[in-house]
Structure 1
Amino acid sequence: MSGILAGISDARLYSACVVVVLYLTTCAYFLWPRRRPAIVVSGNNHATLIAFASQTGFAADLANRTAQSLQAAGAPVMLASLQNIDERILREAKSALFVVSTTGEGDAPDPAAGFVRNVLDSSVPLKELSYGVLALGDREYDNYCAFGHRLDQWLRHQGATALFDVIEVDNGDEGALRHWQHQLSVLSNSPDLPDWEAPRYERWRLTAREHVNPGSAGDACFHIELRPQADASASWEAGDIAEIDPRNSTWDTRLESLPHREYSIASLPTDGAIHLLVRQMRRPDGEPGLGSGWLTAGAKIGEDIAVRVRSNPNFHAPETNVPLILIGNGTGIAGLRALIKMRIAGGRHRNWLIFGERNVAHDRFYGEELEQWRARGQLERIDLMFSRDQPERRYVQHRVRECADELRRWIAEGAAIYVCGSLQGMAPAVDAALSEALGADTLEELAIAGRYRRDVY
């Protein structure tokens, strides 16, 4: 036991040293009086570029925290102000995270004026770059997060691949910042990265749990139902996220606060409960993951679960009665299910689901419900892909390409596209397939118009 504790202590000391060095380096960067080159915090050719544009210092602080989180996960980073970013740096980068504010009438912060003039107004081939954008703003202003969206549109137009949709932060919104941290944990494959600020939870009760894919070649998946206590808020919309606190997990013996886990909500408030579809993740040593292990095996029926609902407006259903194309894989069906339920409740039946999993015999999540909706005309079309049911692997992106003509027809009729599921693998593959089917310019226009939205993790 003493050896284990010593190992943990050494690991914590190392992490603390890394954070201190990064903090001091960043302080030196901001305080140094003359023009500075980009700062390589920890270096090799695969470092993630973290670029910021800050008017008041808030974006710079968040960029610094972002760098600290990735470094704590062992990822090399390059931290720099946009004023020090040129075409060469962008062309050489393979991955980049941008933390940018908006000022004035939708303008870039003053230090980024040179970047706008010298880079953003030019053409730079960036097909090798994957990126994410954290856009800071205030909804009280007309041009909310305008510079962040302008940067995102420019990157798309240069051929760069968006890892996820722009994350908007309204006046320092804590929920949006936690979502950014969640994406950092996914990108670094480090689910235990500590939250910058812990969410304030409410107590919900675990009332149902069902293993929905026994015999599957994949990890076990469970349908989970959580009901609010009398004093808990039970309001959410289709597309919103349940944040779960795993600190009461029986799988974990550590005392410090643990990072929250995020799950797409698969139900509506009229169902009386939050429904989740949770895959039981496994650690390298075979132990269940903290959050998924607690929900799928550790907690007993009737036990309290710490929950907070986070609004996810970028994935809320279209406000108008337009056709909706829903694409996803795995547990991503949860977020799509809630959207379909909301559409049906509103009498909007032009819905098309393209969904993929492993085997039809084991992994047809909510299959009976989907068939009932199709039989009633509430789900106009369903295309299901099961990758292991034939010698060659077939995924949702293959079906997207095969349905190109029909996709173009739906888009011409005003359809929106919503994608939910894996950030690694599915999301970029579907993005590429949609770009081929619809054309890169059309897909970019759909994204700008809010008709192409993604909730990927």
Structure 2
Amino acid sequence: MIDGYKNIFTEEQINTAKALYKGLSEEQRLWLSGYLAGINQSGVFSGNPLSENQKEEDSDQKTIESALSDSITVLYGTHTGNSKLVAERFAVAAQSKGVKIDLGSLADYKNRKLKEERNLLLVVSTHGEGEPPVSAEDFYGYIFGKKAPALNSLNYSVVALGDSSYINFCQTGKDIYSQLKKLGATNVSDLIELDVDFKDQLDAIFPGLIAAFSSANGSPGVFNHGEEDDKLASPDQWTEAEVLEKILLNGAGSHKETYHIEFDIEDKGLAYEPGDALEVIAKNNKELVHSVLHKLNIDENELVTVANEEITIKEALVSRFELTVLTPQVLKNYAGYAKNTKLDDLIGDVGLLKEYLYGHDFLDLINEYPVGINAAGLTGILRKLPARLYSISSSYDYNPDEVHITVGAVRYQLNEREHNGLCSSFLADDINVGDDVLVRIKKNEGFRLPENDAKVIMVGPGTGIAPFRSFLQQRENDGAPGDNWLFFGDQHFETDFLYQSELLGYRSKGLLNSLDVAFSRDQEDKVYVQHRLREKGQEVYKWLKDGAYVYLCGDKDNMANDVKQELVRILEIHGGLSTEDAYAYFKELRSSKRFQEDVY
């Protein structure tokens, strides 16, 4: 684009601009375009800059308010609450600039209003294998359906949230972004994709996004980015919490290694609700780091710059970058160095790529596809090390000075060596009572207890029991009169009945009206929680008819789908519904929040 203006710019200016643009991220390009347009509007480039700061600020404010007099509609589609958080923070940032905001959930949005919108920001997460979250399903179906309207008068942008370790990263946001364009809407910015560490990026994204909407409405906005009050106040501070207890829950001879860990949060300013998770910052195993550096022939004391800080490559790999999980983007980055056709073919085949990503770590990759690379190049390939999430297994009201988690150590053999999960092995092997761990609370608005008098069915095999321990503590604390039914499963009764004494105690006290267990390896035919649901199908259906809420926590790949299919089957058999009506009934349970899941 610059090349068309060689009669205006010098060759040196053109080369400088190209070099600057090439080195910017999409978010930085977005912000810069709005910023340059804005200062041009104010007269800076015409040779008549404003002489007083206050005049400039007043002009900027009037520009934005005038340009966006129709307001921006901000809609979020969320599962755990992340999209809602981003949308709310954008609203705060925009309103501080005088922009009118109409904020709401896609679950409550009247789709027919879409054709009347003029400025729309959609913030949406991706659930499961690229599907929209429940709250966005109707909107998603509407814009892809036959009744979708022409949207030629709509200016829009989409902020997509996801986890780049999944192949279908931000897929729902990508789908909505492209479909709105097909319907005639005008995108004011490129799709904005946020990974799991998105909170650190919001301050940089929002000003440019507001400017983009302002420009689309005919009057670019200008922002004073030097002022500290432009920074959003962040409640997401990490806190050092001391380990109070660390108890191995499995008995001798178990094939599993599950820990109950208690942290001291007294006077830490942390609070949480049943259903929330605890984010934990872990460090990579030092032996794994040593093996990676040895294989790449990189001196562990070589210095690299990470986030404007000069540290050794060893320290960077221990605490700053992901090594135990591979992502599609990391493979693509690495392939640029490897120049290996076999690796290129693997990346180009979705099935092979998904299979390879499951279980392989970075050391596997460099062993199978060797490259020559220096320390700086290595840091450019790897993903920033994200925190790990664990469902909280305690109630704050029941015990406000502590937060508990239930951690299953991940260990497996692959390529003739042992692999360990990053955070689970960090907590299992490196952390002991008295040690401090960096933590913070992660809200999960999509997994909440109902009113006290509602019946609750909880299905949580293995470490999926964690939030239900929190639920039961909360209902005991509140004296909730609602009935409670737990389905729990694991491998062996003798060694893997997690929290056995507590659960049996709740049953004897009457807090747990029913406790059904499935220990898969205690008999020849494996028995899982879905089999127990099937056996109690008639009573489960009666609870559903009585308004019961169903909660599911645990493995998303197999168990979760099996349990949901069994619930549909119960509706068919004991409710006398057709398959189509049973699925419709189940969909209504989800949309009314009477079925909620926390799967991983």
TM > 0.5 between the two?
yes
For the Cα contact (< 8 Å) 2:111–2:139, is it kept in 1?
no
Bigger shift: residues 216-225 or 262-271? 216-225
Question: For 1:205, which of 225, 239, 242 is the aligned residue?
Answer: 242
* Separation in 1, partners of 2:588, 2:110: 20
* Corresponding residue for residue 520 of structure 2: 387
Residues 104/378 of structure 1: CA separation in 2 closer, same or farther (3 Å cut): closer
Over residues 297-352 of structure 1, what are the superposed CA-to-partner deviations in whole Å (9 max), with x where a residue is unaligned? 21232111111101112211102411100011110100111011111222235100
Q: What residue number does 1:142 align with?
A: none
- CA offset at residue 195 of structure 1? 2.8
SS at match of 2:446: helix
Q: CA deviation at 1:215?
A: 3.6
Q: Does 1:228 align with 2:265?
A: yes
Partner of 1:74: none
Aligned residue runs from structure 1 range 143-162, under 5 A: 148-151=136-139
Render the CA deviation track for 1:80-137: whole Å, top value 9, x for unaligned: xxxxxxxxxxxxxxxxxxxx99599543896999xxxxxxxxxxxxxxx9543258xx
Tell me the secondary structure at the aligned position of residue 390 of structure 1.
coil
Q: What TM-score, normalized to structure 1?
A: 0.61
Once the two structures are overlaid, the 10-residue window that deviates more, 266-275 or 353-362, is: 266-275
**AA matched with 1:132:** E
Aligned partners of 2:166, 2:534: CA distance in 1, in Å? 27
Answer yes or no: is 1:107 the counterpart of 2:111.
yes
Query: Could you give the per-residue CA deviations for residues 170-215 of structure 1, whole angstroms, max 9, x where no partner exists?
Result: xx99xxx8xx545x546789xxx87344563111111111111144
- Equivalent positions of 1:161-176 (< 5 A) are none
Return closer, same or farther for 1:58/1:359 CA change in 2, 3 Å cut-off.
Answer: same
2:281 corresponds to 1:245: yes
Distance in 2 between residues matched to 1:268 and 1:343, nearest whole Å: 9
* Deviates most, 211-220 or 444-453: 211-220
Which residue is 2:389 aligned to? 262
Aligned-partner residue type, residue 237 of structure 1 = E
Match of 1:51 in 2: none
Match of 1:446 among 571, 586, 589: 589
Q: How many residues align?
A: 322
1:405: how far off? 0.3
Which letter does structure 1 place at the counterpart of 2:537? Answer: A
- For 1:300, the equivalent position in structure 2 comes to 432
Counterpart of 2:530 in structure 1 is 397
Cα gap change, 1:409 to 1:216, in 2 (>3 Å): farther
Contact 1:356 1:385 in 2 (8 A): yes
Q: Deviations over 1:385-406 (max 9, x none)?
A: 0000000111111111111100
Of 491, 496, 515, which residue of structure 2 is paired with 1:358?
A: 491
Q: Match for 2:138: what amino acid?
A: R
User: Which digits, 9 at most, give the CA deviation of each residue in 1:257-316, with x for residues without a partner?
Assistant: 511100000001232311111011126441432211121221232111111101112211
1:370-449 correspondence to structure 2 within 5 Å? 370-438=503-571, 439-449=582-592
The separation in 2 between residues aligned to 1:187 and 1:297, in whole angstroms, is: 30
- The 1:321–1:401 alpha-carbon spacing in structure 2 relative to 1, beyond 3 Å, is same
Question: Using a 3 Å threshold, how does the CA distance of structure 1 residues 369 and 186 change in structure 2: closer, same or farther?
Answer: farther
Residues 330-369 of structure 1 correspond to what in structure 2 (within 5 A)? 330-348=462-480, 349-369=482-502
Aligned residues of 1:356 and 1:395 also touching (Cα < 8 A)? yes
Deviation at 1:234, TM superposition (A): 2.9
Indicate if the aligned counterparts of 1:153 and 1:448 stay in contact, CA closer than 8 A.
no
Superposition deviation, residue 368 in structure 1 = 0.5
- Output aligned runs, 1:191-202, within 5 Å: 195-197=197-199, 200-202=237-239
Identity of aligned residues (%): 28
Structure 2 CA distance for partners of 1:412 and 1:331, relative to 1, 3 Å: same
The 1:186/1:394 distance shift into structure 2, 3 A limit, reads: farther
- Structure number with greater CO (CA < 8 Å, separation at least 6) is 2
Which one of the candidate residues 282, 297, 300 is aligned to 2:411?
A: 282
Displacement of 1:451: 0.5
- Looking at structure 2, the residues matched to 101 and 353 of structure 1 have their Cα atoms a distance apart, in angstroms, of 31
SS in 2 for 1:314: coil
The 5 Å alignment of 1:81-96 reads none
Structure number with greater Rg is 2
Please identify which structure carries the higher helix content.
Answer: 2
Report which stretch shifted further, 304-313 or 436-445: 436-445
CA shift in 2, pair 1:328/1:188, >3 Å: farther
Backbone CA RMSD of aligned residues: 4.0
Distance of 2:555 and 2:501 partners within structure 1: 24
Q: Deviations over 1:341-393 (max 9, x none)?
A: 11122223510001111000111000101101111111000000000000011
